[in-house]
Structure 1
Amino acid sequence: MTSRTLLRSPARRDAESDGARRWLALVVVLTGVFMPILDFFIVNVAIPSIETDLHATSGQTELIVGGYAVPYAALLIIGGRLGDRLGRRRAFALGMAGFTAASLLCGIAPTANALVLARAAQGAAAALLFPQVLTLIQHMFGERERPRAMTFYGLALGLAAAFGQLLGGGLISADLAGLGWRWCFLINIFVGVIALAAVRPLVPFAAPIGSRLDVTGGALSFTGFVLLILPLTEGRVQGWPAWSYASLVAAALVLGAFGRHQHRTARKGGDPLVPPSLFADRAFRAGLLTVFAFYTGMSSFFFVLALQLQAVQGLSPVQSGLQVTPLALGFFATSLLARPLLARFGDRSLIAGAVLLLAAYAGEYALVPDRLALSVLLTVNGLGQGMVMAPLIGRVLAGVASHHAGAASGVLATCQQLAGALGIAIIGIVYFDSADHGFQAGLIYLSITVLATISGLVLIGRSRLEA
């Protein structure tokens, strides 16, 4: 009975067991980040094989990509609030079940139109699944442990984006059982079933808040975001037809009506979809702008890098993925160090990461044809991304009240997806309108997004000091 283990009190052993269970639960919960983001990137690698196998037209292939992105981004705020109403664990499980089932439908789709519909269902399920992750982290971890949990959140987010291309290329090349591109979707079934089996025994119950869902606000927000995101994802490819401009104007009108409805509902004592009081925190407002600036560049970079490596340098999807691997390794390293760096240096560590990104973009601008130099610079790029991405979301949510967690998570996730859609639309214009210097022109745009991110980080710090 002299063992330290045996001398520990039952209360302490229970506390340690509960702590270990929370971290196991985090692994389960983070599948709700990894899978939706992975599917956003992995499908780009599969498109050529899908076109050949399903005889898809160019319009259908656009919808295979956009059909996922549009409902995903448009329904995120509603998904966040449904988590409050249903209970976060239940909403997470429903989202995971829906995403897994939709992935199966994608994997067995007999025609291009069937795949488009399955992708839309997948995007809608992702909109319920994704925002629950942040609220569950807020619920499971106290103030001391939460920054570490948010580090793993950022790590899952970044690695899904960085490894999507490599994983997709590997699955297609392996061609297991002759299924080829279908494995890009079928692999989700294995992960989803395991995650669903672990939800109830590991993820703690979170009681529903019981608030009524703002149906009118939900309809306005969904309509407004569809009108906004659809031309951003499809407009450039179709040459910016008249409908795309009309859609953007209509989006401004509908989202304006949504904002007025939210204020009116709050004044009458109702429960708006997005409480206006959420934006009373100046640091949260600054944080949203910072997240928007950062993710406008983040998604754009992976898009334009894939074009450069495959369309210009002629690399296969697997070779392209291997070229990006140093970025993922750099990201992994600094993501794990982000929390102690933030604890010691504060927001200066995030600013330092953004400066590394600027340096990487400058080097890539000068040395883009050199694959060895590009590998080194992509490592620097990953180091910078990891220093910013991993702690940024935690910094933005730091001052949000717990009763606003669902709404804040939905708004933040929507901000990320809108930023990605807008960033890809902008960099697509820059890239394709710059003839033989598209990548370099894109890097100039990306540098501007980093400068905007640095400005936002400074503003967040000032807002926290003045609070």
Structure 2
Amino acid sequence: MEDPDMTSPQTAGRAVEPTSWAPLAVVLIGGFIAFLDFFIANVAIPSIQSDLDASAPETQLVMVGYGAALCVGLITGGRMGDLFGPRRMFVIGLAFFTAASAACGFAPSIWFLIVARVVQGLSSAMLTPQVLAVVSHVYTGEARGRAFSAYGLMLGLSGLCGQLIGGMLIALDVAGLDWRTVFLINIPIGLVILALTRRIVPHIRTGAGAKLDLPGAALAIVSLAAVVLPLLEGWEQGWPLWAWLSLIAAVPLFVLFLTHQRRLAARNAAPLIDPGLFRERGFTVGVTAYFVYFMSMGSFFLLFAIYMQEGRGWDPLPSGLLFTTMSAGFFGSSFLAGKFAARIGNQVIALGAGLVAVGYGMVGLIVARIGTDGTAGWGAPGLLVAGFGMGLVAAPLPAAALAGIDPKHASSASGVLSTAMEGGAALGVSLVGVVFFGTLSDSPALDDYPKAFYLSIAVIVAFPVIVTLLVQALPKPASSVAGERQGQGKEASAVEQPVRKTDRQYASER
């Protein structure tokens, strides 16, 4: 009898029936709490500062520590999934994430909490790339298309619902734990998912005999840190000298990293990132579009929350409830994305990005009109439109980016994609933050916030517009080309079809 822990890539997908969604549910829940933790802690910052007697820069590190650790570790975490198996790395990452969540929840001091958040971020970097890797190995054809849609839904809801869930947990104040519940809630969820993973998710061995490129991993982490840390902290500190020096140092560090990767690939060694990934046009364009797309999302979410809470004096919970309008649009369009894609292929991404730009623009115009005194509910239609557009982008864009990727590189490709997401959000906040915080005075009046917000929106809407242009460079799904040649009327989903291309490549290796 074959050892279940020695399942090969070719047989991994047979370990579960194609119609069984249990493995998908398990990894999506694990990924959800990891992505959610970046957003949910935002609302706890004032309580943390008061309870732990922390300074504003120290509480800022609670957020920056997680985001920076996650971003710099994603590429290495993805490669580890390729080498040691996505299920194994998912379990290890989730175990550390759960333990770090407990440390955060019981933190006796602010610096203990900051260190625990860094560990949380590194753990998240180990587990999150494995979600798409498991999808790529376990599901095929239409099932994989639906799995990608579920992943996009999970990713979007984790961002849209983070503030609402965090506000509800703090408002409930279970057992008088206040802000600590936003971290402690991860413990029972993490333990249940850990117990289910080995029973439900098949083992996938993809990199037998290969070794982790430790010099490359070190160079990747240092290079990314040199970019991410100044982007996350520079705008808060008024762009000090260290931030500029760090960004300048990042250029030769990345050149050194890329040179090292090419040399390993030329020797048929095992680079951290196979340079061949970027010869796939769909992957290169898709990653670039993903990066630019999240420049808009990261900056809009943060600045709208600041406008609502500091400019209008709203508490986190009602502010989060307003975001449910965007969540409703996102949830509804997520189920329609496949039908749209069946008719217009990858242009569904351009349509979605265009609607995001329109929705953001509507919100900006409303804020310019109502200021801080008018009814904030007038912004709901714009949030609804933007959310609807997000739902059309969430699944098709990562699916298009990963369409032509060899499954043995699924984890590392997912790590690069996730790094683009986190890096894009950080850069977007930094660039738009220059406009927003530059408009505010040192002691801003309430009336300064609407102006800072709608001027920032003028920059934010440019990012989804750029995405609509980048989409035009994506290769057509293979089935669309075949259908045109054969004159067939049969439609196929743009989310589904690139996956079939990968399946053929996968079968050829067998």
Give TM-score, length-normalised by structure 2.
Answer: 0.86
Deviations 1:180-225 (A, max 9, x none): 0000000111211111111011111101412111111011001111
User: What pairs with 1:160-309 in structure 2 (closer than 5 Å)?
Assistant: 160-210=158-208, 211-309=210-308
Q: CA deviation at 1:462?
A: 6.2
**Structure 1 residue identity aligned to 2:437:** F
**Structure 2 residue identity aligned to 1:240:** W
State the alpha-carbon separation in 1 of the partners of residues 284 and 64 from structure 2: 28
Q: CA deviation at 1:340?
A: 2.2
Residues 438-447 or 102-111, more deviating: 438-447
Q: CA deviation at 1:299?
A: 1.3
Deviations 1:292-342 (A, max 9, x none): 111111111111111111111111101101111110011011112112221
User: What pairs with 1:369-448 in structure 2 (closer than 5 Å)?
Assistant: 369=370, 370-435=375-440, 436=448, 437-448=451-462
Q: CA deviation at 1:358?
A: 2.1
The answer to whether the 8 A contact 1:282-1:463 is kept is: no
**Structure 2 residue identity aligned to 1:216:** P
State the alpha-carbon separation in 2 of the partners of residues 392 and 177 from structure 1: 42
Q: CA deviation at 1:17?
A: 7.6
The answer to whether the 8 A contact 1:103-1:185 is kept is: yes
State the alpha-carbon separation in 1 of the partners of residues 460 and 107 from structure 2: 37
The answer to whether the 8 A contact 2:77-2:129 is kept is: yes
Structure 1 vs Structure 2 CA RMSD: 1.7
State the alpha-carbon separation in 1 of the partners of residues 65 and 45 from structure 2: 13
**Structure 2 residue identity aligned to 1:389:** A
State the alpha-carbon separation in 2 of the partners of residues 355 and 235 from structure 1: 30
Q: Which residue matches 1:10?
A: none
Q: CA deviation at 1:128?
A: 0.1
State the alpha-carbon separation in 1 of the partners of residues 177 and 195 from structure 2: 26
Match of 2:69 among 71, 86, 93: 71
Deviations 1:115-164 (A, max 9, x none): 00100000010000110011111011113221111101010000010010
Q: CA deviation at 1:74?
A: 0.4
The answer to whether the 8 A contact 1:295-1:416 is kept is: yes
Q: CA deviation at 1:177?
A: 0.5
Q: CA deviation at 1:348?
A: 2.3
State the alpha-carbon separation in 2 of the partners of residues 144 and 204 from structure 1: 20
**Structure 1 residue identity aligned to 2:127:** L
State the alpha-carbon separation in 2 of the partners of residues 229 and 344 from structure 1: 39
Q: CA deviation at 1:395?
A: 1.1
The alignment status of 1:318 with 2:312, answered yes or no, reads no
Deviations 1:421-444 (A, max 9, x none): 111111221111123211112211
- The runs of 4+ residues in structure 1 deviating greater than 6 Å are 462-467
Q: Which residue matches 1:155?
A: 153
Q: Which residue matches 1:336?
A: 335
Deviations 1:221-259 (A, max 9, x none): 011111111101111111111111111111111111000
Q: CA deviation at 1:344?
A: 2.4
**Structure 2 residue identity aligned to 1:373:** W
State the alpha-carbon separation in 2 of the partners of residues 274 and 103 from structure 1: 30
The answer to whether the 8 A contact 2:15-2:202 is kept is: no
Give the match's secondary structure for 2:127: helix
State the alpha-carbon separation in 2 of the partners of residues 343 and 68 from structure 1: 38
Give the match's secondary structure for 1:145: helix
State the alpha-carbon separation in 2 of the partners of residues 461 and 19 from structure 1: 27
State the alpha-carbon separation in 2 of the partners of residues 40 and 293 from structure 1: 19
**Structure 1 residue identity aligned to 2:380:** S
Q: Which residue matches 1:95?
A: 93
**Structure 2 residue identity aligned to 1:297:** S
The answer to whether the 8 A contact 2:329-2:386 is kept is: yes
**Structure 1 residue identity aligned to 2:361:** A
State the alpha-carbon separation in 2 of the partners of residues 372 and 306 from structure 1: 14
Deviations 1:31-72 (A, max 9, x none): 232112211111110000000000011221121111111111
The answer to whether the 8 A contact 2:98-2:187 is kept is: yes
State the alpha-carbon separation in 2 of the partners of residues 47 and 28 from structure 1: 30
State the alpha-carbon separation in 2 of the partners of residues 401 and 17 from structure 1: 21
State the alpha-carbon separation in 2 of the partners of residues 305 and 59 from structure 1: 21
The answer to whether the 8 A contact 1:367-1:373 is kept is: yes
Q: CA deviation at 1:345?
A: 2.0
**Structure 2 residue identity aligned to 1:345:** I
State the alpha-carbon separation in 2 of the partners of residues 16 and 397 from structure 1: 23
**Matched residues, percent identical?**
40
Deviations 1:271-308 (A, max 9, x none): 10011111111121111111111111111111111111
The answer to whether the 8 A contact 2:32-2:158 is kept is: yes
The alignment status of 1:51 with 2:49, answered yes or no, reads yes
The answer to whether the 8 A contact 1:131-1:409 is kept is: yes
Residues 116-125 or 291-300, more deviating: 291-300
State the alpha-carbon separation in 2 of the partners of residues 236 and 463 from structure 1: 41
Give TM-score, length-normalised by structure 1.
Answer: 0.94
User: What pairs with 1:100-179 in structure 2 (closer than 5 Å)?
Assistant: 100-179=98-177
5+ residue gaps, structure 1? 1-14
Q: Which residue matches 1:357?
A: 356
